[in-house]
Amino acid sequence: MIIRIVRMTFTEEGAKEFLPIFEKHKVAIRHFPGCSHLELLKDIRQPNTYTTLSYWDKPESLENYRQSELFEQVWGKTKMHFAEKTQAFSFEKFIEVD
C-alpha cells in the first residue's frame, strides 16, 4: 500500500475556490482504480492550508491517477490558487501498532 500526502497552502480566495473543486471530484478520485481511501484535512493553525491523505494499492495505481484526465482536470483548476509550493510525500506502511 502507498500512502500519499499532499499539503497545499492557498491564498484566502484560493481556499474558497478549491473547496468546491474538491467537493465536485472527491468521489471520482476515491473510486479511481487502486484508491482505497481519501481524506481532506484542514490545518488547525493555518486556515488556508489543506492536506489530502490517500491510500493506493500500489505505486502504479497512484501514477495512473497522476497521468489521468481526472487528475489534469482537478490539478489544473487547483494549482492556480496556491500561495506556496505544494509538498507531496509517498510512504509505504512500515510498522503499525494496535
The strand pair at 2-9 and 49-56 is best described as antiparallel
Which of 3.30.70.920, 3.30.70.360, 3.30.70.100, 3.40.190.10 is the CATH number of 2-59+85-92? 3.30.70.100
Q: What is the mean pLDDT of residues 12-36?
A: 98
pTM equals 0.93
* Cell 501498532 -> residue: 97
- What pLDDT is attached to residue 81? 97
Q: What is the mean pLDDT of residues 37-53?
A: 98
Nearest one of 96, 98, 97, 36 to 65, comparing CA atoms: 36
pLDDT band, residue 20 (cuts 50/70/90): very high
Per residue in 61-90, pLDDT (tens digit) is: 999 999 999 999 999 999 999 999 999 999
Residue extents of the structural domains in the chain:
2-59+85-92
**Amino acid, res. 86:** T
- What pLDDT is attached to residue 46? 97
Q: What is the mean pLDDT of the chain?
A: 97
Q: Is 91 helix (H, G, I), strand (E, B) or coil?
A: strand
